[in-house]
Every structure is written in C-alpha cells, then in structure tokens.
Structure 1
Amino acid sequence: MHAASLPRTDTRISYPDGATSSIGRVVHVAGLADGRTGVILDQTAFHPVDTAWPDQPADRGTLHFDGTEAAVVDAVIGAVHDGALYVGSDVPVRTGTADWTFTVVHVIAEEGPAVGTEVRVEVDTEYRRALSAGHTACHLASLALDAALTDAWTKTVPLDALGAPAFDALAIQTSRIHPDGSVDTYRVGKSLRKKGFDTSAFDDLAPIEQLANAQLADWVASAATVRIDRDDEAITARRRWVCELPDSGASIPCGGTHVSSLSELGSVTVSLSTQSVTGGIELEMRTTIS
C-alpha cells in the first residue's frame, strides 16, 4: 500500500447520534491478509467492533457504490502510523493515541471501490436496535448491581456514576453485548478482598438479584431519556452515555450505540451465578430484555 494514500484524518462517525445510513467517500482500500478487502471512508454510520474492549459487535449492513451492493462482513478499528495501516487486533495502541490516525475499516469479500468513490452505507436497522437496547440495558444492570452490593463493602472505594461503590468498574473482566441483552463476567480475588469486598455476599445471590431487578423495573418505568454526549464527530472523540434517571443522571464513558429512551426496553432483568476460580470467585451476570 502507498503511504500517500493512507488516511490522514480520523474517520467521522454518525452512529453515536443513532444514524443508520450515511454517504462518504473512499479514502483508502486495503487488501487484508485473509483475502478480503478493507474499505475506509471519510465518514460512516457503521459501528465497528473495538478490539481493545470488544463489548458491542460490529453492525451488519451493506456498502452501495458504482451500481453494486457489497455486504459488510465485519467492521473494525484501523490505525495509521508512520506510513503503515494496522487493522483490528493488529492495532498496537489505544484509540486516540497521539500521532496516530484512527479509522473504521469496512470489511467486504469482494474488490473494493476506487479511492474517491462516493459510497452509501446502509446499516441493518433491526440488528442495530437490538444491540443498542442490549447495550443500554447492560449499563443499567451494572449500576443496579453496584447498588445491590453496597452493603458488601467494608472500606471506602471509588464510586460509580450514581454514587454507589463501583463493583462493576473494579471487578469487570469481560462484557459482551448481544441482541436484547448482555453477559458480564466479574472476578473477585485477593486484591478486591483487600479493598474491602466481603465475598460472603455471594453466599445467597437471590437477595442481590431481587434488589437489582426491583431497581431496574423502577428505572425502566421512568422512561428516562438516553443520549450520547461527545466532543466532536471524530472516532477518537470522547463519548459518554448519559441517562436522565429520576433521582440522578448517570454518565458513563462509552463508545457504543444506545436507545433514546428507557421506554424502548420493555422488561429488563438480571440473573446471577458464581463459580470458584483460581484465587477467587467468578460472578456472571446475564441481562435480558423481554
């Protein structure tokens, strides 16, 4: 690939505002190691998976150019530095690192369009809606879990967006969004116990589930508004999920997509389970929208 043809500015993105279609111009086309093609546009509504924290999957959808339609089989973060393009898991730095350019790489199976071609992006709206609902419910569930575990702490620790001890932030290992739900995995080991977490709270999970689900029901019934605040349109701009809950608004860093109101969720419930792992306990929280 020619360094001169590589993008020099970050991709502008519209998916944080809920956009599911966009028109952009091709700034680079890359042949990928697996034989597929990566298409980089100057702007896009397509949400890519972030390999650094791959909680929300990439959108599904199509690219339309030169009278043809190409299915997007994947979408990942790309990064340019010193004349080289790194794609997906090969990106060696965090998004936003100084002196790097960050992009959305739309992966297609066929040959890509020429640089400068106008491309229309169309996102699968139903799949996006289901992922957005799952992501919003995931944030609510993490806050509800933090609140339900308040009495399990014997020391002062950092607080979450609503002022409860931040179990989610301190113990999270993985988070995976799926249509209309999510699965979060937490690990409680020696370091968290030293911070003051009493693992006997997990001896009976039923009261924790009841508290969390009661809180979730109250929040969803409030039909609170949800939005993404961001500094600008670049993919590197800081973004925050903001939910205007009845007693206190919540604001959490987030790069995903969301519904615009909790009224869109229906019923949100969590179920908890634990297992013993080396050096501690693993807690799994499954969040479901029904």
Structure 2
Amino acid sequence: MSEVISNQVLMSKVLFSKGITSSTSCIQWVEKTDTSTYVIVDQTPFHPVSHIWPDHPADKGFLVFEGKQYTVTDCVTGAFDVKNNKLYKGRDIPVKRGEEGWHFVVVHELASDLVLNVSDTVELNVDEGYQAALSRGHSAGHLASYALNKVLEQTYWRKDASRKDVLNNRDFHSYAQVLSLVSENKSTDSYRLGKTLKKRGLNVAEMLADLALIETKVNDVLAIWLETKAPVVMKCEGDALTDSRYWCCDLGFGESITMPCGGSHVRSLAEYKGIQIALTLKSEQDLEMITTAS
C-alpha cells in the first residue's frame, strides 16, 4: 500500500549529462510502500534506467539526510499524472513522453524505513567510479558501431541502402541491432542477420566467412580514432529528463558524429587506453559484438 506524502510534483532537472555527480536537492514527492521509499527531487545527478530502451543501467550512490547516508537501491524513469496525482514507474508508465498533463521524472528508490518529507533538503551523491565505468562502456559501444559500419561498407554490400549513418556508411548497426546492453567498461550488441537484411543488399554469407578479418579491421579503425584523443560533447536541448541530448565526437578527417543518446558518457577519447571488439556468431542468424574498453 502506498502512502503519498505530497500532491504536487515538478519535472526533475537532470545533471548527469553535464558531468555533475553530486547535488543539494529539494524533495518534491515522497511515496512509501511496504518495501521501499520513492523520492523525486528538483534536481539530480543520478541517471535513471530507461523504461523504453533499458540498455544503460541506473547509477548507484547515496542520499544524505541530516548527516546520515542512505543507499539509493535503484533509480528509474517515472511519469507523473498531474490530473490524478499518481506516479507510474518503469514499465508501468502508460504514456509516451510529451503527453499533456504528464511530467517525466527521475525516481530514486530507497529503503522503506527512511522517513522523508516534501521540502526536505537532501544531498545526492553518485558513485563516480561506477558511473565512469558505464560511461566508458557506452561511448565505446557508439564508436564500435560506427567502426563496424565503416568496415562493412567497404566490401560487404552489393547495393545501396536508404539508411546511412552520419559518416555516410550503410547503417548495418541500425538495420540489424535487436538488443544492446551497457556494463562497466563494456558494451554488448546483438544483431539479427535475417532475410530482410539480405534483401537490403548485405552479403551475409561473405560477411560471416570473414568475421575474423572484419574484427581485426574494426579494431584497427578504433585504434586510429582513439589516437585523435577527440573530445566528446553532450549537447542538451534542456535540463528536463525528456529534453533531447546528443552525443557528439569530431574524429577529424571529415568524420564527425552527432547522434541522439540519453546516457552518461566520457568527456574525451583520451580517457581510453584502448577499445577492442570481439565478434561471435551465436547461431546461424544471431551475431554478437562485445566491445571492451580499457
């Protein structure tokens, strides 16, 4: 049974895209159940897991109140129904972002025995090491997807495709990706090599025969890109959770990437010692790419 402490809530201002890992925040909403306390604040450095594409895990960290530290056990996307004064969390969210009368917010989950009230001031601290490891994994995954597209573009398409990435290579990653998962210093992408992809013009048989060679070439591209030590910039259209954010990296040589992404990321390719991929055929039509950052 939920106990709602407040009947008003504002949209959360998110700080993680600016590299901020600690904030003093004012509580806007508290909801208690038998097992948890859910808290929404006016601004937060925590990255919540997305309910739509949950590839990037929630940040870990702590809430500090009156000198005591409490573990944030989870952090999820929430949607608040203003008319009915009700909060929906994660997969229970029934509307798309931008729906009139709904505010999308960051929901921090804590232990059930914590007593907090609206207007209390708290401090939120993100586990910087964990967030940085996720950021390295996520940015590495982006680079690997573009490097894979670049290598496949050279040999493995027999006809043009309508969908190309920002580097003007046919977008194998976008066409074939069915699942992605970011973890500490790692990104895992799963691709489906079905009939549709073959019809689009990809020479799947030749590609699979050359997996080891493709892997080597992709790693060579990544090594060249890392040598640029290019900055990574997050461009934000606003501070709300639902405002668009873009991952931007200018690799030089006419290769500049701007793509929508809501995760946390590195600030520069200089943060890497190396990035390497491994390609594994999991079944006849299922290919996995694991990208590992060091």
2:147 is aligned with 1:144: yes
- The structure-2 alpha-carbon separation of the partners of 1:4 and 1:28, relative to structure 1 and needing over 3 Å to count, comes to closer
Q: How many angstroms does 1:3 deviate by?
A: 9.7
Correspondence for 1:23: 24
Gaps of 5+ in 2: none
Report what 1:267 is aligned to: 274
Alpha-carbon distance in 2 for matches of 1:100, 1:138:
32
The reply to whether residue 85 of structure 1 matches residue 87 of structure 2 is yes
Q: What is the CA-CA distance between 1:282 and the residue it aligns to?
A: 0.9
C-alpha contact (below 8 Å) 1:12/1:235 kept by paired residues: yes
> Alpha-carbon deviations, 1:105-148, whole Å to 9, x = none?
00001324100011111011111111111111010011011111
Separation (CA, whole Å) in 2 of partners of 1:202 and 1:69: 52
Q: Distance in 2 between matches of 1:182 and 1:216?
A: 14
**Which residue matches 1:249?**
256
1:191-239: CA deviations, max 9, x gaps?
Answer: 2222222211112201111111011001111100001101111111000
Aligned to 1:284: 288
Q: Summarize the Cα distance change of 1:269–1:19 in structure 2 as closer, same or farther, 3 Å threshold.
A: same
Displacement after TM superposition at 1:2 (Å): 5.4
Identical pairs, percent? 39
Give 1:99's aligned residue: 101
Per-residue Cα deviation, 1:238-285 (whole angstroms, up to 9, x for no partner): 0000011112210111000111110101110000011336xxx11100
Aligned residue identity for 2:264: T
CA contact (8 A) 2:4 2:31 kept: no
TM-score, scaled to structure 2: 0.92
**One-letter code aligned to 1:191:** T
Distance 2:167 2:24 in 1: 38
Structure 1 equivalent of residue 44 of structure 2: 44
CA RMSD of aligned residues (A): 1.6
Of 181, 200, 208, the match for 1:202: 208
Moved more, 262-271 or 191-200: 191-200
Say if 1:20 and 1:270 are closer, same or farther in 2 by CA, change over 3 A: same
Go from structure 1 to structure 2 and tell me whether the alpha carbon gap of 1:106 and 1:197 turns closer, same or farther (over 3 Å shift). Answer: same
Aligned to 2:64: 64
Find the aligned partners of 1:56 and 1:134 in 2 and give their Cα distance: 9
Q: 1:158 to 1:40 in 2, by over 3 A?
A: same
- TM (norm. structure 1) is 0.94
Shift in Å at residue 98 of structure 1?
Answer: 4.1
CA distance in 2, matches of 1:243, 1:94: 29
**Distance between the aligned counterparts of 2:115 and 2:94, measured in 1?**
25
CA distance in 1, matches of 2:212, 2:198: 21
Report if aligned partners of 2:4, 2:32 keep a CA contact under 8 Å in 1: no
1:193 matched to 2:194 = no
Alpha-carbon shift at residue 69 of structure 1 (Å): 1.3
Paired letter, 1:243: C
- How far apart are residue 152 of structure 1 and its match? 1.9
SS at match of 1:220: helix
Matches within 5 A, 1:155-174: 155-174=160-179
Indicate conservation of the 8 Å contact 1:29/1:112, yes or no.
no
TM superposition shift of 1:97 = 3.8
Distance 1:48 1:68, change over 3 A: same
Structure 1 gaps of 5+ residues are none
Q: Which amino acid aligns with 2:143?
A: L
Worse-matched range after superposition: 153-162 or 15-24: 153-162
Q: Give the secondary structure class of the aligned counterpart of 1:54.
A: coil
* Structure 2 CA distance for aligned equivalents of residues 55 and 210 of structure 1: 26
